[in-house]
Amino acid sequence: MQRKYALLVAITLLVVVIGVACSPAGAGSVQPANAPANQPAVQEQPTTAPTNPPAVAEQPAAPPPTEEPASRQLAPVCQSSAVCQAASADQYEIGCVDKVPYTNVLVSSNTQYEVVDKTGAFKCSDSGMVVNGKTVLTCYGKELYTFDLKLSGADCGGAALATGTDQCQEGYGYDAAQKCCAPLSGDTSGSSTVEVSLGSCPLPRSRPGSWVHP
């Protein structure tokens, strides 16, 4: 009887031991061998996109320094004061024809002339005569009137003095023959305007266009 009781107790103890061994509570929480205990999980940080630096505007290249122009060299002033003279004229009354007064106007050879009058009451023409190297122009019109006569191209023409060459100061023209600068008289072509005076009639009668020395 005791032997059976002891055998029953032994079997009961074996069952208890086996149950305890197989119980989850008996196993306990087993931590991994290499992992540290209670370590929070590491969150992966998002990759930061590279920031592109702002584009730098290209500065325009500075223009090369300009060289100062050399001072302009002017031609010397002509020593002769008669290099350039405006056209001039000498006048001589010569008489009347049909109560029309006539006057001779003496100008340098090759002088161009123009009557400055819009009424048509005054006229001038080349008489074909030359006195003391000058051409005789015969002019006529109303008694005791005066009119303007423009003369140009004689003593100071465009071929005599050149303008706009930067070789002379303002108011001077360049004389290529003498290589100097001379003052301009009249306008740039040597023109001038003379006032022709007509007398009253009667005057000593003479043929129009003839020469009468005063």
Per-residue pLDDT tens digits for 80-126:
654 445 567 899 999 999 999 999 999 988 888 999 998 999 999 99
Cis before residue 24, ω within 30 degrees of 0? no
What pLDDT digit, counting tens, does each position of 176-202 carry?
A: 878 888 877 644 455 788 999 999 997
User: To the nearest whole number, what is the mean pLDDT of the chain?
Assistant: 73
3-class DSSP assignment, residue 11 = helix
The count of structural domains within the chain is 1
pTM: 0.45
How many angstroms separate the CA atoms of 181 and 84, rounded?
10
Is 24 inside a domain boundary?
Answer: no
Look at residue 70 in the predicted model and tell me its pLDDT: 54
In a domain, 100, yes or no: yes
Give a yes or no: residue 138 inside a domain.
yes
Residue 12 lies in a domain: no
Phi-psi region of 119 (alpha: psi -120 to 50; beta: other; left: phi over 0): alpha
What is the C-alpha separation between 106 and 49, in angstroms, rounded? 102
pLDDT at residue 150 is higher than 80: yes
State the sign of the Cα–Cα–Cα–Cα dihedral 174, 176, 182, 185: negative
| Residue 73, domain member (yes or no) | no
DSSP helix/strand/coil, 175: strand
- Indicate whether 143 belongs to any domain: yes
Residue 144 lies in a domain: yes
Q: What is the CATH number of the domain that holds 108?
A: 2.60.40
Domain hosting 139: range is 90-159+190-197
Per-residue model confidence as pLDDT tens digits over 46-88: 555 555 655 555 665 665 655 545 567 899 988 765 444 556 7
The mean per-residue pLDDT over the stretch 128-134 comes to 93
Per the domain annotation, does 95 fall within a domain?
Answer: yes
Determine the distance from the C-alpha atom of residue 168 to the mean position of all C-alpha atoms in its chain, rounded to a whole number.
22
